[in-house]
Amino acid sequence: MHATKEQLDAQAQVLLQQYRESELKARERAQIPLQEMPTQQPQERVHNMQEVALGYSENQVRVEAMRCLQCKNKPCIAGCPVAIDIPAFIAEAAQGNFTKSVEIIKESSLLPSICGRVCPQESQCQKFCTVGKMHKDVDQSVSIGRIERYVADYAREHGTETVPAVKSATGRKVAIVGTGPASISAAADLRREGHQVVMFEALHKAGGVLVYGIPEFRLPKKIVEHELDNLASMGVVIKRNYLVGKTRKISDLMEKDGFDAVFVGSGAGLPKFMGIEGENYIGVFSANEYLTRSNLMKAYAVGESLTPLFDSHKVAVFGGGNVAMDAARTAKRLGAEQVTIVYRRTEVEMPARKEEVAHAKEEGIEFLFLHAPLKITADEKGRVNGVQLITCELGESDASGRRSPVEIPGSEQMHAYDTVIIAIGNDSNPLIKATTDGIEVNRRGNFIVNEETCETTLKGVYAGGDIVLGAATVILAMGQGRKAAKAMHAYLMNL
């Protein structure tokens, strides 16, 4: 059993009375125990879609913020793609100045509530934390993301946020394709400079991967909606059900509709498949489709939503990243009795966040390591009834630095499953390239851009996020959106 939110708060209160923030020396700060994130109990949360992590209490966030050494060289900032002044916002949080804390964050990042929840801090800012290095354990670093989440939630819930100021109108007009994290960052920065900004969203709901890809139990959709409302308050126009490339081409936007520049943040929404026998049988889903049906179309709300729910009992999920964890944990909540993540390597090589793997295990998700699928089988009606798996062993390291899985001949075996979810990654959305002359892409279909400006091979057209990087993190996409916006502003002011 996890400690309850109340128990963790009480422990933090004792620590808060024990330590005086202004009197602490570096060694004393490093000895303050890491504050555990309170969560819903596993046996409860597998039956609902509510957020698993409950967030720090005020006492907890202040104690955790006291652990920060306030290093003069600020090594944590080097790991942040948008260069937030991390020590400064943590210092304010330690004093209980939560509104001031979030104001510091928002100088660099418009989405702290989101990034605090879904960014892999352990491989970014927290990786460089001096406290973690003192303990020789990155998991003992200051919990930067959890503090960020708390202060952002505090400002939203207490109505202390301020809408970013917008400079006087420049007369320039910018189109933003997509409404995911890269596009949100670009839109906010361009609007701040006084440009007219219109965002185009292909779906009926804005937010991109934040709404269709990440489950409610990791990122509540009301938070994404709130951030989009902030954009609207700044004067950004969002047009939904508008598929650039079909409804209108890039050339139409620039030559006929009067847009002076375009930012493309259309993401990596094209699912990858494995090319094995049986991928077209009934009961085989890409993780994209499976998660979209649940997250965006609310398949889990039986009786309220018209989206049909596939009746699954034994589910196999192929992949080892965060999307595989999301799909597996969603399947469990949708009623599957047994859910197994099948991964070709060992747990050590899994790219998923440790926290997500731990949560999946707590929820009863099973893991089958060093196995790879060879074919999917079906009954006479074409419905999945099994998967043939082969055992693997690890060979030499590949280009990613991980040891390559090597299949062991003769180790093939059938396993009974009625549902298969393929979560091995996505390719870039091909629509813009297919309908736009002059845009160059690499062999993976990612847009080729200038690394300094994010400008594509087509003048006045910029791009960022997954359409450039492939499937990346929210904060990396935001970093590209900001970089592009800076270059676009310079371009627009020189027209």
- pLDDT over threshold 90, residue 169: yes
- pLDDT over threshold 70, residue 21: no
- pLDDT over threshold 90, residue 443: no
Are 226 and 426 spatial neighbours (Cβ–Cβ below 8 Å)? no
Are 45 and 2 spatial neighbours (Cβ–Cβ below 8 Å)? no
Alpha helices (runs of H) in 70-175, residue ranges in sequence order: 86-94, 98-106, 112-118, 130-134, 144-157
What does the pLDDT read at residue 160?
Answer: 93
For residue 25, the tally of other CB atoms under 10 A from its CB is 9
Q: What is the pTM of this model?
A: 0.93
**Burial class (CB within 10 angstroms; exposed 0-12, middle 13-18, buried 19+) of 483:** buried
- pLDDT over threshold 80, residue 23: no
- pLDDT over threshold 70, residue 22: no
Where is average pLDDT lowest: 159-173, 193-207, 395-409? 395-409
Residue type at 17 in one-letter notation: Q
**How far is Cα 430 from Cα 436, in angstroms, rounded to an integer?**
10
Are 426 and 414 spatial neighbours (Cβ–Cβ below 8 Å)? no
User: Which span out of 1-10, 68-77, 436-445 was modeled with the highest average pLDDT?
Assistant: 68-77
What does the pLDDT read at residue 193?
Answer: 97
What does the pLDDT read at residue 42?
Answer: 96
What does the pLDDT read at residue 472?
Answer: 80
- pLDDT over threshold 80, residue 315: yes
For residue 258, the tally of other CB atoms under 10 A from its CB is 10
β-strands 173-177, 196-200 pairing: parallel
Q: Predicted confidence band at 87 (pLDDT cuts at 50, 70, 90)?
A: very high
Are 111 and 119 spatial neighbours (Cβ–Cβ below 8 Å)? no
Q: What is the pLDDT of residues 225-255, one digit of tens each?
A: 999 999 999 999 999 999 999 999 999 999 9
**How far is Cα 159 from Cα 382, in angstroms, rounded to an integer?**
54
Sign of the CA dihedral running 21, 24, 26, 30: negative
Q: Could you please report the per-residue DSSP string of 217-250?
A: TTS-HHHHHHHHHHHHHTT-EEE-S--BTTTB-H
Taking alpha carbons only, the member of 66, 64, 85 closest to residue 74 is 85
Interval 262-279 mean pLDDT: 93
Q: Name every residue whose Cβ is closer than 8 Å to that of residue 44 and which is 6 or more positions away in sequence.
A: none
Q: Predicted confidence band at 430 (pLDDT cuts at 50, 70, 90)?
A: confident
What does the pLDDT read at residue 242?
Answer: 96
* Mean pLDDT taken over the chain: 94
Straight-line distance from the first to the last Cα atom of the chain, in angstroms, rounded to the nearest whole number: 62
Q: Please give the C-alpha separations between residue 392 and each of 346, 397, 486, in angstroms, as whole numbers.
A: 10, 14, 47
Q: How many residues does the chain have?
A: 495
25: which DSSP letter? -
Q: What is the pLDDT of residues 357-366, one digit of tens each?
A: 999 999 999 9
Please work out, in degrees rounded to the nearest 5, the angle formed at the alpha carbon of residue 154 by the alpha carbons of 152 and 155: 70
Interval 407-423 mean pLDDT: 98
Helix, strand or coil, per DSSP, at residue 49: coil
**How far is Cα 442 from Cα 447, in angstroms, rounded to an integer?**
7
- pLDDT over threshold 70, residue 1: no
Interval 164-177 mean pLDDT: 96
- HSE-CB at 402 with a 13 A cutoff on CA atoms is 14
Q: Report the percent of the chain where pLDDT is more than 70.
A: 99
Are 19 and 32 spatial neighbours (Cβ–Cβ below 8 Å)? yes
Strands (E) located in 245-331: 261-264, 270-271, 284-286, 314-318
**How far is Cα 426 from Cα 354, in angstroms, rounded to an integer?**
22
Interval 116-140 mean pLDDT: 95
Q: Could you please report the per-residue DSSP string of 369-388?
A: ESEEEEEEEE-TTSBEEEEE
Are 357 and 380 spatial neighbours (Cβ–Cβ below 8 Å)? no
Q: Name every residue whose Cβ is closer than 8 Å to that of residue 280 and which is 6 or more positions away in sequence.
A: none
Where is average pLDDT lowest: 55-64, 102-111, 468-477? 468-477
Q: Which residue has the higher pLDDT, 279 or 444?
A: 279
Q: Which residue has the higher pLDDT, 17 or 61?
A: 61
Taking alpha carbons only, the member of 227, 237, 234, 162 closest to residue 199 is 237
Q: What is the pLDDT of residues 324-368, one digit of tens each?
A: 999 999 999 999 999 999 999 999 999 999 999 999 999 999 999
- pLDDT over threshold 80, residue 292: yes
Q: Long-range CB contacts (< 8 A, 24+ apart) of 309-312?
A: 309/334, 309/335, 310/283, 310/285, 310/419, 311/335, 312/283, 312/336, 312/418, 312/419
**How far is Cα 358 from Cα 355, in angstroms, rounded to an integer?**
5
